[in-house]
Amino acid sequence: MTLEKVIPYLKVKKLDRWALNYRFDKLEAIEGLRKLYKVFNEDEILVTTSFGTKSIYLIHLISQVNPGQKIYFVDTGFHFKETLRYKEMIEDIYDVNIISLHPDEEPHRLTEEEEWWNEHPKMCCTINKIAPLDHIVMQHKVWVSSLMAYQTSFRAGLQMFEKQGDILKYHPLLHLPEAKFNEELDKLKLPMHPLAHVGYGSIGCTHCTIKGEGRAGRWSDRGQTECGLHVKYYTKK
């Protein structure tokens, strides 16, 4: 009996990462998301967005597949004003449920007063971007992320499903080529982040983002390519 015949008879939620990758790897992003909601309940699925230059496509897909899905945004306190305005515009256009999270006030104030993004950028990210999501991550089984393989060498090495501590990360856009991604944006006439039009290929906090192609403008002088959300291991307490 082939694997395709065996798998449907298994209890899907007990499938290991290998089996999930086998079933999802060749699916288009929207097909994969639809299947995800057949495998997991809505309250088991975590969706996050940074409202960066590439965020809109996943938001669009979620609005098509399950518009009631909660989408979490970490407001680090250091975003460009254009990012916050963009977020408000997307909320007005799409029927999506955006929930903003914020870092704890005291450690955030310390990072701001001492400008930790200069000497301690990884710790600054941990306090302002990773920690606010920590308790949310623990409440879910699978985390939908819009990472794409062409963006960095780290992302190129990922699979559709990756185990990250006690949560699965699912990357429905992973195999989407950059040219195809841009074609989809044009075809759907999706609203882009305003800074994307003036030379910002990737956008995070103001102190650690400059103009640049792709992710070249992120932490450009700090030897860092990720904030930690995608490489940190979350372990349930």
Q: What is the pLDDT of residue 224?
A: 53
Strand 161-164: give its sheet, edge to edge: 97-101, 70-74, 45-49, 142-144, 167-170, 161-164
Give the integer Cα–Cα distance in Å for 39 and 130: 27
227 is catalytic: yes
> pTM here?
0.84
Domains of the chain, each with CATH number or no CATH: 14-208 (3.40.50.620)
Window from 28-32, 72-76, 100-104, 201-205 with minimum mean pLDDT: 201-205
Average of per-residue pLDDT across 7-35? 77
Average pLDDT, the chain: 83
Q: What is the pLDDT of residue 189?
A: 92
> What is the amino acid identity at position 119?
E
Q: Is the pLDDT of residue 57 over 60?
A: yes
How many Cβ atoms are within 10 Å of 132's Cβ, its own excluded?
Answer: 20
> Is residue 161 a contact partner of residue 20, using CB atoms and an 8 Å limit?
yes
Q: What is the pLDDT of residues 100-133, one digit of tens each?
A: 999 999 999 999 999 998 888 889 989 999 999 9
Candidates 125, 205, 208, 227; catalytic one: 227
Average of per-residue pLDDT across 12-32? 82
Instruction: From 24, 32, 20, 99, select the one nearest 65 (Cα to Cα).
Output: 32
Q: Is the pLDDT of residue 87 over 90?
A: yes
Give the integer Cα–Cα distance in Å for 78 and 97: 22
